[in-house]
Structure 1
Amino acid sequence: MDKSRIFKSLFGVALLSSVSFLASAQKPNWQNLDLKTDTTFGISTEKAYKELLKGKKPTKVIVAVNDGGVEATHEDLKSIMWVNKKEVAGNGKDDDKNGYIDDINGWNFIGGPKESINYETLELTRLVRRDQDRFANTTDANVAEKDKADFEAFKKARTDLEKQLGEAKANLAGYAGFKNALDGVVKKIGKDNPTLEDFQNFKPATDVEGRIQNALSGALKEMSFKDFYNDEIMEGYDHFKQQVDYNLNVDYNPRSIVGDDPNNSKEKFYGNNDVAGPDAMHGTHVAGIIAADRTNKLGISGVANSVVIMGVRCTPNGDERDKDVANGIRYAVDNGAKVINMSFGKAYSWDKAVVNEAMKYAAAKDVLIVQAAGNENKDIDVETNYPNHKDLDEKTIASWITVGASGPKDDESLKASFSNFGKTQVDVFAPGVRIYSTVPGSKYKNLDGTSMASPVVAGLAGLIRSYYPKLSAAQVKEIIVKSVTKVNHNVTYAKGEGPAAEKVSVPFSDLCISGGIVNAYEALKLAATYK
């Protein structure tokens, strides 16, 4: 999951902050509420169930969660997990002859015979590692004519990697400094879990202690100290440590765990059947947004009430490999998925052609793909983000939706501060701020990102396909885009980074093709008119 929010460090570097630190609490299930009746800019799912779907019988639809892992045993997901009835669990045989042994709930393309990959490098890191030996003794003066384009790409990638690694190291140092200073203040207070009042009554002895006091006095109005420490400080520290140790480290390469040939994009039969993997936080949260059991009176209610979730693990904590993405798409299609959610993306691509071919395969098989736009607050009409629409034909695009993230208020803050956008590359926006959903251990948590907005739309797509099964994937996309709630006002966001960032105000219609937020009520009404 991308981390995008920041607050000012006490030590001169940017520190991450979730929306929970900056914003007041939202209404539970807000993504499914209605703007008019609930004064919250959800997608009107509950209104649709109450007024349009009551008494109607849906058909089951498979929605694949192509992600970092799904906890199939979660209390709010176990009843809605896809089960491959053609496979005999645990017998070590490929009973259905699909090439994947014991794939009961899905498949893990980043697992091997003994374990699964957790951390991975970025695609950028892999590209630099691939080319650094090739160009070890190459300069602008001696580069061969035939190698000039590749050499320029390598130099650009190496510079980008060095920049990102330097920033990650600085942020890691900032988090470590903040943590150490905070630990010192807590030790002086003498309580493991101090309250807001404890920090307000604390007498700082240094300037740093005074700034710690001010920071915590604001934070603890919104959350407990334990939540702040774990969710803000330790998550941020762990995030940047992961970047330094794994994501941006050219010497780190865990692929031997899988046992495949990572350079052979035609290879399909590898991996294992552990759909959770070592870290199922992200994918489990995504699955709950789509379809958490609406009948068990536990936890939360997903968008769709008649879909089953297929777990396809293809994204590690780092950048996904194109080979795994393509195979994940093909696996989902071949095993009956009608919607695939892909809450991931990256700035570089190793073999985009193999992903594009898989996209075309899905389109040919009438499968709708829903993809997160990304969390870098960038215009992806201009900035590269893979996969993307740019080099695919209209037929493929007709069954592929890219989703930006919106907040709960119908005002200038409607665009989530972190969300990517693009007037030609992003189709719609959907709720993606402080979305409460399932996480491992049969627990629940607020997360934010376009990773959360995408499954809102995937859930809606699954809902439409379950009540109107004769509609094609292209028609479902058309319905979702046409039925948005149009936003007829400006929104603001920061253009640029750091102190030089400029606050700009633009019409919301400049951010995406549809110019609006998806609406389940209007989509289902429109679907009923299609023949």
Structure 2
Amino acid sequence: MSFPLSFRRNLLGLAFLLPTLAVAQTPTSAPTNDPQWYLLDPQQDGVMGVSARRAYQELLKDRVPTLVTVAIIDAGIDTAHVDLKRLLWKNTKETSGNKRDDDQNGYVDDVHGWSFLGGPDGRNVDIDTYEDTRVLAKLQPRFQGKARTSVPAAQRADYDLYVKVKKSYDEKLKENTQRLADMQKAYDENAQGISMLKQALNVTQLDTATLHHPPTQDPNLLRVTAGLYENLREAGYPSLDAVLAEIKEAVTDTKNQLDYSLNLKFDPRTVVQDHPDDVKERRYGNADLYGPDPSHGTHVAGIIGADRTNTVGIMGLSNNVQLMAVRAVPNGDERDKDVANAIRYAVDNGASIINMSFGKYYSPQRPAVEEAIRYAGSKGVLLVHSAGNESKNLDQTMQYPAPVFQNGQRIPNMLTVGASSRANDAGLAADFSNFGRHAVDVFAPGNQIYSTLPGSQYGNKSGTSMAAPVVSGIAAVLKSYFPTLTATQLKSIIMASATPVHTQVQQPGTNKTVDFRELSEAGGVVNLYRAVELARQQVAQ
């Protein structure tokens, strides 16, 4: 699980250190101060939202929804969040806290879900290694220093994997070492500059309100604050302190990757006390759904189904949903065994939709995951998977869980989702998003998405991890109001709702300009309004 941080955002706080660069820029789309821009309508509001509010107001107001369960396979959820606690799925056959497996399903006290990253003593895995690291640690003792010609023919497939994974591991090690240095420098410079500007203005915070009406008449400071105000509005940040906090989070995340995720000797799995190579093992873990850091999963949960009936916080996409928490994603790469078991747990406990905001580039136990995906398909469950945040073309590089089975067949009950931005301009495809004319099904808003955070807080996050739950939320709405729709019909409708967009955009990770339509199978951004229209036509037939 990786968290994108655009380089241009690192520089936002530096603008006032270079006054000649702090010139206000005119937004390329109609401005909106609504933090939940992704719920808005492209035509009515001028941003590339999914028309959720319009759909509720015009198409769904006289319809009665049924209850739908959405499983969130992630790092954990803050189940006490004021905007989520009413929506939690509840295992009515289990009694909370009695330390007994009341329903005899193999999971003790699984009242709101289960964690496959916990141990029987209550401890939990936080950071884990990358799959590259695990594979290299396993193969390096056998092949280090050897030439392919010296390896027996029966072992050459493993040797070739060793060479491939050694290359990707070395690249990650080099990239993260440089990134840590760059981000630490960006953080230090931004922190110093923000402190200087606060002193110059005699203020304690530099939010958009202060920058828009700064307490000064100094023409240089006015020019600087005007530029920063426009930059923050365009990027969707409430303050310069929020920019600084995101850079600091990226510094910490990158350091953890170097210290742990890329450490060939690090193995936190003893915490779980399972048998990691036994993919048939199902009964392990604990009932701690919060875990060491539920920030990512809590944010995902709010996008899908934050309480629409209270008067606080935000509104989730779905208005009649139960949120099932399944913890299987550490800081690092998730393990195939845990993913397979998480999918099975969600299916067996009544989930209609499973959100999977995670991914990696090696899958040593791929058959076990595919078996679980087929099982979900046999039960009519739709899986929604994030495409990844490495600006890669997935038509050329496989990311797992893959959109196809090992036999090459397209997975009929899974959607792979790229991330889009708010403006219909050259930046419509989020600069971090993976893409693929065939491997990625569709795009959804995933850049600067405002949602729930632990401690009943709220904030922005970016990533295809945020785009996937937008699609899961849309799927939940469709299943709720049109319960006869199958998983394959939901997938078809959601893809068809994304009218192809022919905006010329920057291809993620390059300076190349391409037609946005060429970045995914559907060629557009999902739209709930259009999806509801299509669903009505489908069920009327």
Task: Determine helix, strand or coil for the equivalent of 2:507.
Answer: strand
Are the structure 2 counterparts of residues 228 and 405 from structure 1 closer, same or farther at C-alpha, using a change threshold of 3 Å? closer
Q: Do residues 334 (structure 1) and 342 (structure 2) align?
A: no
Q: Do residues 319 (structure 1) and 320 (structure 2) align?
A: no
Alpha-carbon displacement from aligned partner over 1:237-267 (angstroms, at most 9, x marks no partner): 1021011111111111100000001111111
Identity of aligned residues (%): 44
Distance 2:500 2:99 in 1: 52
> Paired residue for 2:151?
143
Alpha-carbon displacement from aligned partner over 1:60-90 (angstroms, at most 9, x marks no partner): 1100001111111100000111011110111
Counterpart of 2:176 (choices 168, 180, 183) is 168
Q: Do residues 466 (structure 1) and 473 (structure 2) align?
A: no
TM-score between the two structures when normalised by the length of structure 1: 0.88
Q: Do residues 229 (structure 1) and 208 (structure 2) align?
A: no
**Displacement, 1:27?**
2.6
**Displacement, 1:230?**
1.8
Are the structure 2 counterparts of residues 40 and 25 from structure 1 closer, same or farther at C-alpha, using a change threshold of 3 Å? closer
CA RMSD of aligned residues (A): 2.9
Judge conservation of contact 1:360–1:396 (CA < 8 Å) in 2.
no
> Paired residue for 2:104?
97
Counterpart of 1:358 (choices 366, 372, 375) is 372
Judge conservation of contact 1:80–1:307 (CA < 8 Å) in 2.
yes
Distance 1:248 1:198 in 2: 48
> Paired residue for 1:207?
none
Distance 1:190 1:487 in 2: 43
Judge conservation of contact 1:199–1:217 (CA < 8 Å) in 2.
no
**Displacement, 1:378?**
1.2
Q: Do residues 432 (structure 1) and 446 (structure 2) align?
A: yes
Distance 1:312 1:83 in 2: 13
Instruction: For structure 2, list consecutive stretches of 5 or more residues without a partner in the other structure.
Output: 12-24
Q: Do residues 152 (structure 1) and 169 (structure 2) align?
A: no
Q: Do residues 111 (structure 1) and 118 (structure 2) align?
A: yes
Distance 1:194 1:474 in 2: 50
**Displacement, 1:407?**
1.2
Counterpart of 2:47 (choices 28, 33, 40) is 40
Q: Do residues 64 (structure 1) and 71 (structure 2) align?
A: yes
Q: Do residues 373 (structure 1) and 387 (structure 2) align?
A: yes
Task: Determine helix, strand or coil for the equivalent of 1:436.
Answer: strand
**Displacement, 1:447?**
0.8
Letter in 2 for 1:352: R
Instruction: For structure 1, list consecutive stretches of 5 or more residues without a partner in the other structure.
Output: 11-21, 204-212, 497-502
Distance 1:8 1:50 in 2: 35
Letter in 2 for 1:339: I
> Paired residue for 1:130?
138
Are the structure 2 counterparts of residues 515 and 141 from structure 1 closer, same or farther at C-alpha, using a change threshold of 3 Å? closer
Letter in 1 for 2:337: K
Alpha-carbon displacement from aligned partner over 1:267-324 (angstroms, at most 9, x marks no partner): 1110001112111011100000001000101110011001110000010000000000
Give the number of aligned pairs.
506
Q: Which stretch shows the higher mean deviation, 168-177 or 429-438?
A: 168-177
Distance 2:230 2:531 in 1: 41
Letter in 2 for 1:235: E
TM-score between the two structures when normalised by the length of structure 2: 0.87
> Paired residue for 1:522?
530
Letter in 2 for 1:166: K
Task: Determine helix, strand or coil for the equivalent of 1:53.
Answer: coil
Counterpart of 1:253 (choices 256, 262, 267) is 267
Are the structure 2 counterparts of residues 293 and 358 from structure 1 closer, same or farther at C-alpha, using a change threshold of 3 Å? same
> Paired residue for 1:391?
405
Judge conservation of contact 1:344–1:451 (CA < 8 Å) in 2.
yes
> Paired residue for 2:17?
none
Counterpart of 2:361 (choices 334, 343, 347) is 347
Distance 2:502 2:189 in 1: 46
Letter in 2 for 1:6: F
Counterpart of 1:298 (choices 302, 312, 315) is 312
Are the structure 2 counterparts of residues 511 and 26 from structure 1 closer, same or farther at C-alpha, using a change threshold of 3 Å? farther
Judge conservation of contact 2:403–2:415 (CA < 8 Å) in 1.
no
Distance 1:146 1:4 in 2: 43
**Displacement, 1:227?**
2.4
Distance 2:188 2:6 in 1: 22
Task: Determine helix, strand or coil for the equivalent of 2:77.
Answer: coil
Judge conservation of contact 2:404–2:411 (CA < 8 Å) in 1.
no
